[in-house]
Amino acid sequence: MRHLKKGRILGRNPSHRKATMRNMAVNLIEHRKIKTTDAKAKELRRFIEPLITKARNPDLNTVRQLMKILPRKEAVHKLVHEIAPEFADRPGGYTRITKLGFRDNDRASVSLIEFVGMNGVDVSDEAQEKPKKKSKGDKD
């Protein structure tokens, strides 16, 4: 039984899972939104939101702690100086997960994870257009 065991395994061993989360966090910081599976997006939200909360207080110790977690110096700089100040007065909930549907090849549910309220960043067209359901009489 999995009582009191948090987090998703994602079909990976612990070191691979940690590396996946670190790389996805860096990509989210660099691109402001990424498309991934639902389970990975939900785990990424649990991973990145405490980092943003920590980056809201940009002293040297905080930067050093973030450098231990995130593998790229440029991502830490962007997180501390560009992203965290936009969430200075927000108490939490820095990311938004939008479900996009299912991937064609393996039917995995796909989501778009992005930062909430970023100026100048639009939601992608994929999230806005929903696939139309066919009725029984419709043909291609």
What are the structural domains of the chain? 16-116 (3.90.1030.10)
pLDDT over 80 at 81, yes or no: yes
Tell me if 55 sits within 8 A of 80, measured CB to CB: yes
Structure tokens at 30: 């660099």
Q: How many CB atoms lie within 10 A of CB 65?
A: 15
Q: Find tokens 């980056």 and name the residue.
A: 55
25: helix, strand or coil = helix
pLDDT band at 133 (very low <50, low <70, confident <90, very high): low
pLDDT over 70 at 130, yes or no: no
pLDDT over 80 at 139, yes or no: no
Q: How many helices (H) and strands (E) does the chain have?
A: 6, 3
pLDDT tens figures, 26-38: 999 999 999 999 9
Quote the pTM value.
0.81
pLDDT band at 84 (very low <50, low <70, confident <90, very high): very high
pLDDT band at 2 (very low <50, low <70, confident <90, very high): confident
Please report the beta strands in the chain, taking only residues with DSSP state E, as ranges in sequence order: 33-37, 95-102, 109-115
pLDDT of residue 123: 47
d(CA 18, CA 137): 49
Tell me if 75 sits within 8 A of 24, measured CB to CB: no
Q: Which residues pair with 96 in a beta bridge?
A: 114
pLDDT over 80 at 3, yes or no: yes
pLDDT of residue 127: 47
